Amino acid sequence: MSISVKLFIQTFLILLIVLVSSGYVYIKSIDAVFENQIYKDISHDTIQLKNYIQNIENNIETLATKIVKDENIQASINLISKYEDS
């Protein structure tokens, strides 16, 4: 084999090793970025759901307080329950 063929093969192998190893590192880093983004999305959605549920609980509590304090609403509820089917 001539020197130019040996240099070509050596350069090709070095280039192949560098490309494969850099591709592997790149894929692993992209996986880490995706996992981090998924974790952030899940955390954000969890916070939104907790806030939504807390808002609903506060609205129910406010309405229950209004019903207890307002005599007209209590009278209407009693009238409805009196004529409602069992």
**Mean pLDDT calculated for residue range 9-36:** 94
Cβ contact 8:2 at 8 Å: no
Confidence band (pLDDT; 50, 70, 90) for 82? confident
> Domain limits of the chain?
3-83
Confidence band (pLDDT; 50, 70, 90) for 85? low
pLDDT at position 8 over 90 = yes
Q: What's the CA dihedral at 70, 73, 74, 77 to 10 degrees?
A: -170
